[in-house]
Structure 1
Amino acid sequence: MSDIIASGPVPTSVVQRMKEYHPPLGDRSGLRLDFNENTVSCSPRVLEVLGKISGAQLTVYPERGSAEAVVASHLGLAPEQVLLTNGVDEAIHVLCQTYLEQDTEMLLPVPTYSMYAVYASATPATLVEVLAEDGFEFPVEAILRRIRPATRVIAIANPNSPTGKAVKREDILRIIDAAPQAMVLVDEAYFHFHGETVLDLVGRVPNVIVARTFSKAYGLANMRLGMLAAGEEAMHWLRRVISPYSVNGLALACLPAAMDDKDYLNNYVNEVLASREQLAAALTDLGVPYWPSQANFLLTRIGPKHSAFAAAMRARGVLTRDRSSDPGCEGCVRITLGTQAQTASAIEAMKAVLNEIGWNGDQA
C-alpha cells in the first residue's frame, strides 16, 4: 500500500458513549477485603473434581444443560427456568441486550453495582438513575414516579452494593405491579448473607427475573459463574441472545460439587455473619460511621482522608475499596468481611491507620 491510513474504522455511536469500567486490580497480595470475594477458599470437593478432570474433557465444547438441572433442583425450579452465565456480569449484559433498544429506558437506583450502568450504556436505551434517600434507603416512591411506558428494565440489587442495604419485599412487589411492561431484575448476589429472596415469584410473575452468583459465598469468582432465573417465555429470548458456550466446562463440572457441600457453605456464611457483628462493634468503638449491612461487607464513612486510609491499609497488607466516586458515597470506604480471625487483623490495622493518618470522628 502506498498510502498509510491514519486511523481505523470508527465504532458505533453507542460504543463511543458506553461507560467504561476499570477494576482496580493489579497487585492484590495481602488480606483481600476489597472485592467482596470469599476470603478463604472454595469447597474442598471442588478441588477434588478439578483434580479428576481429564485432558479429553478439555477438548469438547461445554454444555450447560446438566448443571442447570442441578441448580434448578437445589432452588426448587424447573431446568427451563434457569440459565447459567459467565458471572452475573454476563447475565446483566444479556438482559440489557434482550430488552433495551432505542426509545426505551432502564431505571436504576443508585449508588449500586457499576455494571448495570455499563451494560445499559451499551444499548441505545436511556439510563434513568434514581438517587437513594437519606441513609441510602431504597427510593421506592421515586422509582414508582419514574416508571413510564418506555421503561423496559428495572435493576434492583438486594442487598445492594456498595451500601449493604436490603430492599423490602413489599417494595419490590409494588414496583413489579407498577411496571408490567418492564423486566424487574432482582440481583441476589449476596443472598446467602441476607436470607430473603423473591425466587418464589419466578414462573408465577412474568416480569420478574432473579440473578444469583457463585462468586461470593461459594468462592468460585475465578470460574465466572452466575445465573438467571425467569419464566420460560423470558428464558426463550434470553437463551437466543446468550453465547451457547460462554460458561466454561471446568466451572460447569465443579458447580454440582460446590452446591452439594452445604456444610462448607453454612460454615463460611456463619463466619461472615459473626465477622459482620465483630467489625460493626469495632467501628462503633472507634467512632467510625458505617451503615448496617445485610451483605458480606460494611460501608464506612472515613471522610476527606478516605484515599489516605485505603493507601495506608494497603501498606499494612489489608486491601479495602474506596467508593468515594459512587453517587452519595463521598468519603466512603467499603470493607469486605471474611473470617473472624481476618476481621480481627483488619481491625488492628485500622486502629493503627486511623492514628497514622491523624483521623478523628469530626472528619467523617
Structure 2
Amino acid sequence: MKTSFSLNLLLRDNIKTLVPYSSARDEYKGEASILLDANENAFGSPYSKNYNRYPDPLQHRVKEKLHHIKGVPIENIFLGNGSDEAIDILFRAFCEPGRDNVILVPPTYGMYEVSANINNVAYKKVVLTADYQLDLDRIAEAIDPYTKMIFICSPNNPTGNSIHRQDIETILVNFDGIVVVDEAYINFSRQPSFTQDLAEFPNLVILQTLSKAWGLAALRLGMAFAGKEIIEVFNKIKPPYNINQATQDIVLEALEGVDIVNEWIKEVVEEREKLAVALQTLPQVAHVTPSDANFILVKLEEPRALYNFLVSNGIIVRDRSKVALCEGCLRFTIGTPEENITLLENIRKFYDQSL
C-alpha cells in the first residue's frame, strides 16, 4: 500500500483555501412544502413536466443507484457533464498553470491534451510501446518534481487494447501524484475495473461514462471514482448545479435497465469479433488490433481514400492514419449487425473497384 501520497501537498494553494459557493439547496436538508429561498418561478414550467426547481446539487439518488450497480460507496462518486468536466477539474485542482506538468501516453484520448492547453499546463508525451503498452522506464524518466498527474486510458482509445494491470499498479505505487485511469470502455473489456481498488490506492482517480455501454451519450453524464478526500475536492470546485434535473431523471430510469445493457454488451463483443475476423480475410488489411472496447483499429491499404469512399456512401468512421503508432489505420465503431454488414460490403466494394 502506498504511504507517501499526500493530497495536501498536491493541491494548489488557492484550492486549499477556496470557499465553495453555497447554493440554496445546500443550506437545508430533507423535504419542504414551500420553497422561497432560490428565486425560482413558483408557478411551474411551460412544459409537460415541471423543471422550475433547481436540481439536487450532489445527485444523491443517482449516486445511490450507481452505488448498487458499481459497488462503490456514494462518498467515492463524483458526477460531471461527461468525463470532460472531471478531467478539467483535475487540472484546476492539482496543476499550477505555467509551472506544473502532466504525463500523457499517446496514442490516447485527445481531451487530456486539450484540457492541459486550456489550463496552461505543460504535458510530456511518453509514447506507448509498439504493442500499445506503457513504457515504464521512459515514464519514470519523464517524472520531475512538478509532475502532478499521469493519464492512462484503459481500454485505450484509439487502439482498443487494455493496458497491463500490473504496469498501472506499478505507477500507482511508485508515483506520488495523481494517476488517472480512464475506463470509458471498461464494460467491453476482459479486465476488471479498478473501482474495487480505491482503498488500496489513495492517488487513484477512475473515470467512467454512461455514453458507451449504457447508450446515454446525448445526456453527457460522466463519473469519477476516487478516495473521499479527492471527491470532496471535486465537489468543492464544480458549479453548484452541474447536473441538470432532466438528466438526473432520465438516468435514474435508465439505470433500471441493467439486464438490457448487459445483453447489448454481449452482442457488441460478439459483433466485434465477427467484424475483426471478416476484415482479416481481406488481403488489403494488414492488421486488426485485438480490442477490449466497442471499436477496432484496423491497419489497411489506402486508408484516406477508403475513408472518403465510406463518407460518400453515408458511413462515418474515424481516420486515425496520421496518429503516432496508428499510421495507416481507420477506427471502426461496432454497429448493429446490419450496419456492420453494410460497412464490410462497402469496404469490399472500394477495394474491388481499385483493382
Tell me whether the two structures share a fold, i.e. TM-score over 0.5: yes
Structure 1 position 327, deviation (Å): 2.1
Q: Say yes or no: does 1:73 pair with 2:68.
A: yes
Structure 1 position 357, deviation (Å): 4.2
Structure 1 position 330, deviation (Å): 2.3
Q: Say yes or no: does 1:146 pair with 2:142.
A: yes
How far apart in 1 are the matches of 2:352 and 2:296? 21
Q: Is the 8 A contact 1:309 1:357 kept in 2?
A: no
Q: Is the 8 A contact 2:198 2:204 kept in 1?
A: yes
Q: Is the 8 A contact 1:202 1:230 kept in 2?
A: yes
Task: Using the TM superposition, name which of 141-150 and 155-164 deviates more.
Answer: 141-150
Q: Is the 8 A contact 1:278 1:340 kept in 2?
A: no
% identical equivalent positions? 32
How far apart in 2 are the matches of 1:136 and 1:170? 15
Structure 1 position 207, deviation (Å): 0.3
Structure 1 position 253, deviation (Å): 1.0
How far apart in 2 are the matches of 1:273 and 1:94? 33
Q: Is the 8 A contact 2:77 2:225 kept in 1?
A: yes
Which residue of structure 1 aligns with residue 37 of structure 2? none
Structure 1: 5+ residue runs without aligned partners? Answer: 1-52, 359-364
Structure 1 position 260, deviation (Å): 2.2
Give the counterpart letter for 1:356 in structure 2: Q
Structure 1 position 56, deviation (Å): 4.8
Q: Say yes or no: does 1:59 pair with 2:57.
A: no
Which residue of structure 1 aligns with residue 330 of structure 2? 333
Which residue of structure 1 aligns with residue 77 of structure 2? 82
Q: Say yes or no: does 1:294 pair with 2:292.
A: yes
How far apart in 2 are the matches of 1:265 and 1:234? 30
How far apart in 2 are the matches of 1:119 and 1:141? 26
**Hey, which bits of structure 1, 4+ residues long, moved more than 6 A?**
none
Of 214, 232, 253 in structure 2, the residue corresponding to residue 218 of structure 1 is 214
Structure 2: 5+ residue runs without aligned partners? Answer: 1-45
Which residue of structure 1 aligns with residue 92 of structure 2? 97
Q: Say yes or no: does 1:352 pair with 2:345.
A: no
Give the counterpart letter for 1:245 in structure 2: Y
SS at structure 2 position matched to 1:135: coil
Assess, with a 3 A threshold, how the Cα gap between structure 1 residues 233 and 352 changes in structure 2: closer, same or farther: same
Higher relative contact order (CA 8 A, sep 6+): 1
Q: Is the 8 A contact 2:133 2:164 kept in 1?
A: no
Q: Is the 8 A contact 1:151 1:179 kept in 2?
A: no
Of 312, 319, 324 in structure 2, the residue corresponding to residue 322 of structure 1 is 319
Q: Is the 8 A contact 1:165 1:294 kept in 2?
A: yes
SS at structure 2 position matched to 1:307: helix
Give the counterpart letter for 2:106 in structure 1: V
Structure 1 position 54, deviation (Å): 6.5
Q: Is the 8 A contact 2:173 2:201 kept in 1?
A: no
Give the counterpart letter for 1:214 in structure 2: L
Cα deviation, 1:232-266, whole Å, max 9, x if unaligned, reads 11111111111122222222112222222122111
Which residue of structure 1 aligns with residue 103 of structure 2? 107
